[in-house]
Amino acid sequence: MSERSESKRPSALRTGWLASRWDRLNGRQRVAGVDLARGLAVLGMFAAHLLWIDDRFEWADASTWVAVVDGRSSILFATLAGVSIGLATGGRTPPVGEQLKTARRRLMVRAVLIWVIGILLVLTGVPVYVILPAYALLFFLAVPLLPLTARVLLPLAAVLAITMPIVQVALDDLPLWQTMSGAALSLAIGWHYPFTTWIAFLLAGLGVARAGILRTSVQLWMLGAGAALAIVGYGADAATGADSGAERSSFAGALWTARPHSTGLLEVIGSGGFALAVIAACLLLCRTVLMWAVLPLRAVGAMPLTAYVGQLVVWWLIASAVLDAPGDLAGFRNLEPFWPLALWTVVLCTAWALLIGRGPLEWAVDRSAKLVADPPQVRASSRR
């Protein structure tokens, strides 16, 4: 090989590497609208954690609009879990045979790893309700649901969305949660995001993935149905919803509310519909040239686990160093950390996605799941 050709080779390799990173983020193997929705959900949870938010939300007062992130961001995240599981396991065609067995094993390994990461975050003492333990339990619950079709999943999601909030009121009222062991169990299973009711959101996401979420007709149906559900849930709450006193003092009040994180019937209907509408809107937007304008948000959504964990780890480090108290929520919020953390997350995720590729935690979890769950012949072929 000549010296001239050798000098050109590194440049060609760099070009090929950058092109492959660009294709990983923007190629057909990724769904840009789903990445955008995940990016919004992650940054919404940042805002819910780091900003002082008034519970009051009024369309006529723009200063209250930030309240939209409270509760709805985490429900959007849970619904997207179902969408992601559906897309990763065949989309419209549920897996069967050996593919189904492999998909189930991978999902269980992912669930275990996400739970462990969640518990480690809980142990930092950062004063947030970490969603990852609940997320892991939802993954476990999804294991037997993988072969189901949209015609089964969507009606089942609707039935659970209506019935489980009734059961949830009784579950939340158990004396267990007032004990030390109950408090520990609550953190270990992410009871702030109770899987007993939140399974409805995962089912809805899995159902629309099985319905063919990449089709324009499905996206338009999601947008219309989601908006209608949001109007019904929030409209009923505005007209007849229980006030905070009634919510604390009566079964009916605890059920008939759309307050964020209440798991009341109206919250499940309204916020579940909101999540479907946001996902549909993101998918439709990414059918236009605007998908390039939101590329940084899509980069965050391409590595949501890394972004979410990174935020809490940085919070823990800063609060420990500056406040000498990781659990001082008011003190940390008073440092006004939201914009620096959000902007740095967007910048770093975009740079990582374009220069390196998959998020580090996403790569580690996926690699571990395949090493543990895949049959030996599949692992051998992937190494070739």
| pLDDT for position 15 | 54
C-alpha closest to that of 53 among 327, 278, 269, 259? 259
| pLDDT for position 89 | 95
pLDDT reading at 168 higher than 90: yes
Cα distances (angstroms) measured from residue 318 to each of 117, 300, 314, 324? 20, 22, 6, 9
pTM above 0.85, yes or no: yes
72, 275 in Cβ contact below 8 A? yes
Least confident of 32-36, 110-114, 121-125, 353-357: 353-357
At 312, is the pLDDT very low, low, confident or very high (cuts 50, 70, 90)? very high
Q: Give the separation between CA 89 and CA 143, rounded to whole angstroms.
A: 11
255, 166 in Cβ contact below 8 A? yes
| pLDDT for position 7 | 38
| pLDDT for position 4 | 38
The rounded mean pLDDT for the chain is: 91
Q: What is the mean pLDDT of residues 360-365?
A: 96
- Copy the structure tokens of residue 263: 């798991």
Q: What is the mean pLDDT of residues 337-361?
A: 95
| pLDDT for position 14 | 46
Instruction: Provide the percentage of residues in the chain whose pLDDT is more than 70.
Output: 92
**Domain-by-domain residue ranges, the chain?**
29-379
Cα distances (angstroms) measured from residue 329 to each of 52, 109, 140, 333, 337? 10, 33, 31, 6, 11
| pLDDT for position 23 | 81
Q: Phi and psi at residue 194, in whole multiples of 5°? A: -65, 120
Q: What is the mean pLDDT of residues 125-150?
A: 97
Q: Give the pLDDT confidence of 84-112 residue by residue, as tens digits.
A: 999 999 999 999 999 999 999 999 999 99
